[in-house]
Structure 1
């Protein structure tokens, strides 16, 4: 049974990486492009799966591939639900509250949300609580650093400016998702 869980996680990762790589070939048709966002609704999701280049793609895919193995209790349906909710959450925040963002591509905002959501949910596991606190603290420090001093090293590596707003919005979305999941779970336990 445990082997099946690991195999299903590897399959999910492989599917996501393959989809992202395919979208990367025609990135201009899938990026967040503000003037077309509401008429080409797929960009709400696809913008987060295309990247400004292949180095950017590889960095984000490595971070994505590590998540289910760093947090072994996370289930595929949790990841799929987050992958459906976080991209449009970030895109709509860009559209309605950050109108100066005309174009965006990359999974990093969603990754911040994924790691935050899973870290919050992991707080319920006594044996993993310290690790979850460490991950959440590192995310908080990273966000504080980026929003105070900026992000130049990664920008040079990927050859494009880093939109740190995406990281912050993704982390907020992940926090809301993680807390929402725990609240729903608590309500289910009380009504059982």
Structure 2
């Protein structure tokens, strides 16, 4: 990826590209949902692309709008930390790890679609980046998303949201997405350059 393009894309290029993918998936419903959503049985039949593409399809227009509103909010909160390729890599890994978490740890969840799991990862990553930058608001955001996830694990998803999107809220996806975001942050701050052993003369 050329430096000129990444400079042109700026901090908003990644979120805009993701928004475009979500909107295109909405245009081609219901075919996009049938071919791209997380489906455990289809994945076991080697349709492994669904582990990634499940995160850009949605149950209905309201579902997509809710998640795109969340993406917009995160972009304004954390755009200082976004670079085009950094955001793309972050989203891809949060998406894959969210789906992998569902597959391995939530076998009862047969079907899944939506951006929210990966968004929880992007949110927590951004909060951790704020903390690293010395912003006290990062702690507030991190505690808020953790409290939300704990509440959902105990009480389940919002009934109002479930009625709006026409499906149960996949609270486990939010958990796995947040874990993915934290993992990506930790991997980023761990030094990757190992010291070379001293040369003996």
1:27 to 16, 29, 33: 33
Deviation at 1:48, TM superposition (A): 0.7
Is the CA contact 1:121–1:182 (under 8 Å) kept in the aligned structure 2?
A: no
Is the CA contact 2:14–2:87 (under 8 Å) kept in the aligned structure 1?
A: no
1:138 to 144, 165, 174: 144
Deviation at 1:14, TM superposition (A): 2.4
Please, which runs of 5 or more residues in structure 1 have no aligned partner? Answer: none
- Match of residue 147 from structure 1: 153
- Match of residue 198 from structure 2: none
- Match of residue 99 from structure 1: 107
Is the CA contact 2:9–2:84 (under 8 Å) kept in the aligned structure 1?
A: no
- Match of residue 37 from structure 1: 43
Does residue 74 of structure 2 align to residue 67 of structure 1?
yes
Q: Provide closer, same or farther for how the CA distance between residues 164 and 69 of structure 1 changes in structure 2, counting only shifts above 3 A.
A: same
Q: Which moved more, 1:74-83 or 1:41-50?
A: 74-83
| TM-score, normalised relative to structure 1 | 0.87
Q: Work out the CA distance in 2 between the residues paired with 1:167 and 1:102.
A: 16
- Match of residue 14 from structure 1: 16
Deviation at 1:63, TM superposition (A): 0.9
Cα RMSD over matched residues? 2.1
Does residue 126 of structure 2 align to residue 118 of structure 1?
yes
Q: Which moved more, 1:107-116 or 1:96-105?
A: 96-105
Aligned residues: 184
Deviating beyond 4 angstroms after TM superposition, the runs of 4 or more aligned structure 1 residues are 4-7
1:53 to 52, 60, 68: 60
Q: Which has the larger radius of gyration?
A: 2
Q: Provide closer, same or farther for how the CA distance between residues 88 and 72 of structure 1 changes in structure 2, counting only shifts above 3 A.
A: closer
